[in-house]
Amino acid sequence: MSLGVSVVIPAYNEGEAILPVLERITDSVESEYEVLVVVDFPEDTTVPVVAEFARGNPRVRTAVSTYGRGPANAIRFGIDQVTNPVVVVTMADGSDDPRQIDDLARLVNRGVVVAAASRYSAGGQQVGGPLLKGALSRGAGRSLGLLGRVGTKDATNSFKAYSTDFIREVGIHSRSGFEIGLELTAKARRLRRPVAELPTIWLDRELGESSFQLRAWVPKYLRWYRFAFGPTLTLDQVRREADRIAALNNKP
């Protein structure tokens, strides 16, 4: 039986750079799938490129987020549009390996609520990228995996598959940056829901510039990081604590 997988890609003025990403996904994914490229505004340079590509593959489309600008809002908006039981978030910069989308989705189909592509587990690797950002990410991921027992050594990686039902249940509180991967992993841990990982090789983007804002986003990541540690919580308790973190993270 084929899985139904929705692939959500947040994009910002990628232009022609989005083409090889779409080509790799459509060539690699064997599941029943859709690809939703989410942008912040209709004039984004990604839009006409995706529209042209979609003429040959109607399973690919764009959507303009109405939730505000930034990758977290784009991801949240995209996830809210999907109906498939599995949603995979991957980046528009080509850093992720689309051949792993099926394998990540199968883990969700087997019962995990978060399936992470891990750069820091055995067999994984990060190639390129800023040294400080990589060191912080590696330290956070490994400590959460070993000490927090969150089920993955790479909770900060955005390349993950999720149970759509799980996301609907716990909600997404992040409104900036790429916190969502860490947020949902932390929520799964506090609820003691199953999380699994597969090793991945992450390649730094070949074209364009990263939108990662280290100084602005690290304090927000740290709050979700701390939340991952602690005893089992009920769903209501997770929601209340997530509301508290969101109130701090989303201050103007």
- The beta-carbon contacts of 67-70 under 8 Å, at least 24 apart in sequence, are 68/175, 69/40, 69/41, 70/40, 70/175, 70/176, 70/177
The pLDDT score that the predictor gives to residue 195 is 98
Contacts of 222 (CB under 8 A, 6+ apart): none
- Residue from 62, 60, 78 nearest 23 by CA: 60
Give domain 4-249's CATH architecture.
Answer: Alpha-Beta Complex (3.90)
Determine the distance from the C-alpha atom of residue 180 to the mean position of all C-alpha atoms in its chain, rounded to a whole number.
6
String of b and e for 60-72 (b: at least 16 CB within 10 Å)?
bbbbebebeebbb
Contact in structure between 105 and 201 (CB atoms under 8 Å): no
Ordered by start, the domain boundaries in the chain are: 4-249
**And the tokens for 77?**
């908006």
Residue 208, CA distances (Å) to 63, 115, 181 in order:
21, 28, 23
Q: Is 221 helix (H, G, I), strand (E, B) or coil?
A: helix
Please report which helix (H) or strand (E) contains residue 237, including its range. Answer: helix 235-249
Residues linked to residue 197 through DSSP beta bridges, in sequence order: 116
Helices and strands in the chain, H and E counts: 9, 9
Whose tokens are 């990060």? That residue is: 126
Query: For residue 85, what is the enclosing H or E element?
Result: none
Per-residue pLDDT of the chain (252 residues; tens, 9 = 90+): 457 999 999 999 999 999 999 999 999 999 999 999 999 999 999 999 999 999 999 999 999 999 999 999 999 999 999 999 999 999 999 999 999 999 999 999 999 999 999 999 999 988 876 666 667 777 777 888 888 899 999 999 999 999 999 999 999 999 988 899 999 999 999 999 999 999 999 998 655 455 455 566 788 999 999 999 999 999 999 999 999 999 999 887
* HSE (side-chain half, CA atoms, 13 Å) at 167: 30
Which residues are CB-neighbours of 229 under 8 A, at least 6 positions away? 147, 148
- By three-state DSSP, how is residue 200 classified? coil
